[in-house]
Structures are given as structure tokens and as C-alpha cells.
Structure 1
């Protein structure tokens, strides 16, 4: 299993950053997501389900994303999701935003990637931690870049 928890202060209002995690803007911060469709409940509800299609090179992978937590307060916002990718990895992601000042937001990105079968566990053991952390950092940088563009 691979786990991470990283944080970054973004020079943008909390509402601007939060907008990026809503359905209509998700492709801006997750460009490999080709389709993100609500299939159950409302996007802001715990238990909401989305059908998501992700492109990795020429391969398309479709899976169901479940919202595990959703909190939208003036100074604190949380979205936590979970999905199984390729029938091999159970991925849980958490996005927490805290208002630091009028124009600053603390962004906390945490998650885990767990192999659900022999192949998934083996692939995670063979992966390099540095490569995994590069993916985490690239995502955080993309969120910061998109938020600054919209601020």
C-alpha cells in the first residue's frame, strides 16, 4: 500500500480552489479524465456515485467513484472519494481546503493506493516511491496553477 499526505498554501480564495473539485471543472485538474458523469444522488452528497473514464496512453479505464465525505463550510471544505482502478487498485483520495486568509487557502491532499489482488499488490511493490510522489506533486501543482488562473 502507498500512502501520502501533502499540503500547500495556494494564493487564491478558498471558493476559487473549491470550484475546481466540482463536477463541471474536474477535467481542469484531472486532464486524463475523459468522462465524469453523476449516476446516483447529488454531487454534494455523501454516497454520490460518478462513472468516470480515465485515459492512460491508448487505454481507457471506466470505473465508479463514490463520494465518502463532503463538507462545504465557509472556512473549511472536504471531499473524499474512493474507486477501484483496473480491478487491481483501491484508491482513496482526500481533498481538504482551509481558509488561511482572504486570498490564501491551505490545500491538503492525502490518499492511499492499495492493491486488491496479487497483481495489484505486486505492481505497487515494484513501483518507485519517488515516481508516486511525483504524481502527487504534479496534481498539487496543477490545482495551484488552475486556482491562480481563476483568482
Structure 2
């Protein structure tokens, strides 16, 4: 299993950033444009245990998988969500999104993802995997949140 973590400060209120993860499909697509649909399968009151069927477009192919909420916390100063899914029976993936309020207009965003190969042959892929995708994602979240925040100022 391989894990990557990246943190960044974002000049936007915590609620604005949180809406990109815990809001509408339209908001999610601003930071994850490859997600083409997200349909609730099971929704729990506390968030943990909720399952969404997600479709993800990679090139011309569309993958479908169930995303389960493993951790969920939503307070005014601290927000956290961790989801897990199985990608095509090749990898077990988790993604964690954590926000900490710095002040009314700034937040700290921490993204952690793990990738566990389910077949021995795929372990080789992880040897050469870099954090490029994680860095790009964190920068995308910052860019979108700050742009959205600037539009409402």
C-alpha cells in the first residue's frame, strides 16, 4: 500500500471549500471533472456508512464503483471526510479530505490518499507512482475555492 499526503492554505472560508466535497455533483465536478454521476445507494444520518454509486470517465471508458463514507465530521471549525472504493478489482483506494478553519477567510486543506493493489502484478505500478496527481488535485481545490470566493466578495 502507498500513501500520499499534501496540505495547503486556501484563501476562502471553510464552508465554501467544504461545499466542493459535501455538496452537489455540480460542485464536485469543479474539482473532479471526470466524475460524471453520483447516485445515492444508502444514506445514513451521521454520514459514516453512506454509499454512493459513482461513474468516473477516464478517456472514452466509464468506470462505475461504489464509494463508501468511512469518516465524517462537520463542525464549524473542522471538517473531515474519508471515502473508500474498489477500482475495477485492481486497487482499493481511500481519499481523505480535511479542512481546518484558520480564520473567517482562510482554511487549511489536507488531502490524503492511499492505494492498495489487490493483485500482485499491480504492486509494481506503485513502486513508480509519484505524488504528482495529489499535488495537482490540492492545487485545483485551492484554485477553484479561491476563484469561487473572489466571485462572491
TM-score, length-normalised on structure 1? 0.91
Distance 1:46 1:88 in 2: 24
Q: How does 1:17-32 map to 2 (within 5 A)?
A: 17-24=17-24, 25-32=27-34
Which residue of the partner structure matches residue 116 of structure 2?
A: 114
Q: How does 1:1-151 map to 2 (within 5 A)?
A: 1-24=1-24, 25-42=27-44, 45-125=47-127, 127-129=128-130, 133-151=131-149
Shift of 1:122: 3.2
Shift of 1:42: 4.2
Aligned 8 A contact 1:6 1:110 in 2: yes
Q: How big is the alpha-carbon RMSD for the aligned residues of Structure 1 and Structure 2?
A: 1.4
Aligned 8 A contact 2:73 2:80 in 1: yes
Distance 1:64 1:15 in 2: 26
Q: In structure 2, list runs of 5 or more residues that go unmatched.
A: none
Distance 1:115 1:69 in 2: 22
Aligned 8 A contact 1:23 1:36 in 2: no
Secondary structure of the residue aligned to 1:98 is: strand
Aligned 8 A contact 1:13 1:103 in 2: yes
Secondary structure of the residue aligned to 2:8 is: strand
Secondary structure of the residue aligned to 1:123 is: helix
TM-score, length-normalised on structure 2? 0.90
Distance 2:14 2:28 in 1: 16
**Which runs of 4 or more aligned residues in structure 1 lie more than 6 Å from their structure 2 counterparts after TM superposition?**
none
Aligned 8 A contact 1:23 1:43 in 2: no
